[in-house]
Amino acid sequence: MISWFFIGLVVTILLTPGPTNTLLASSGIQVGIRKSLALIPAEALGYLISISIWGLIIGSVSKQFPSVPVILKLFSAGYILFLALKLWRTANRDENFSHATIRARELFFATLLNPKALLFASAIFPTYVWQNASAYTSHMLVFLLLIIPIAFFWTFIGSVICSNKVTWLNQRNMQRTASLVLVSFTVPLSYSALLSL
């Protein structure tokens, strides 16, 4: 049975700013809510794969190869940094709003490499989920359903910021801010990985 505690923790963590949410908000800024909704399946698939892999790693591989999680963390940090640089470089362009800078493929990989997936797999999903197919399926389905309104919320935030008449809340400043937020996630992620070596 799925507890309200599990649901509350999932919602809380999904709502916190992170690489995926930053990209969803950026897409809301660039192309609005309707076109950004196409990114939600990419987020769901990225989390599904990443959390499942982390669950398997936590259950078996990390006992035999303790350096694997460290390598994955460093790779994640590198990809997030790449996305941050892309947002920064494109902030000065006059955007054609029919073409998003953030595509489903990029959001998928950002979510796949999102450090939150490790947190979900190791601390939020109950440990018995990784030994019971029925428990895994029910917990994962609830998790995936919770992604939909939260992803919508982040794209909505981006679109509201874009339509705001406050001059400093423009696309350039928001993309650069999003870029800095993404960079801020690479620093602690890389540091914790290097400390584990």
DSSP track, 8-56 = HHHHHHHHS--HHHHHHHHHHHHHHHHHHGGGHHHHHHHHHHHHHHHHH
pLDDT at 13 over 50: yes
pLDDT at 171 over 70: no
Distance CA 84, CA 180 (A): 7
- What confidence score (pLDDT) does residue 100 get? 55
Any idea where the domains of the chain sit in the sequence?
4-195
- What confidence score (pLDDT) does residue 136 get? 94
Average pLDDT over residues 24-30: 87
Mean of the per-residue pLDDT values of the chain: 82
Distance between alpha carbon 1 and the CA centroid of its chain, in Å? 26
Would you report the helix, strand and coil content of the chain in percent, each value rounded to 5?
A: 80, 0, 20
- What confidence score (pLDDT) does residue 140 get? 97
pLDDT at 170 over 80: no
Question: Dihedral through CA 46, CA 41, CA 126, CA 193, nearest 10?
Answer: 20
Average pLDDT over residues 179-185: 78
Cβ atoms of 10 and 121 within 8 Å: the answer is no
Distance CA 10, CA 8 (A): 6
Tens of pLDDT, residue by residue over 89-147, are 877 765 444 445 788 999 999 999 888 898 888 778 887 888 889 999 999 999 999 99
Distance between alpha carbon 116 and the CA centroid of its chain, in Å? 7
Residue, of 56 and 87, whose pLDDT is higher: 56
Query: C-alpha distances in angstroms, 180 versus 90, 174, 193?
Result: 14, 10, 20
pLDDT at 3 over 80: yes
Tens of pLDDT, residue by residue over 67-92, are 776 787 787 778 778 878 887 887 77
Average pLDDT over residues 160-185: 71
- What confidence score (pLDDT) does residue 93 get? 67
- What confidence score (pLDDT) does residue 191 get? 81
Which of 5-9, 96-100, 163-167 has the least mean pLDDT?
96-100
List the structure tokens of 143: 């998790």
Distance CA 103, CA 90 (A): 14
Residue, of 32 and 98, whose pLDDT is higher: 32
- What size, in residues, is the chain? 197
- Residue 193's CB is within 10 A of a number of other CB atoms, namely 20
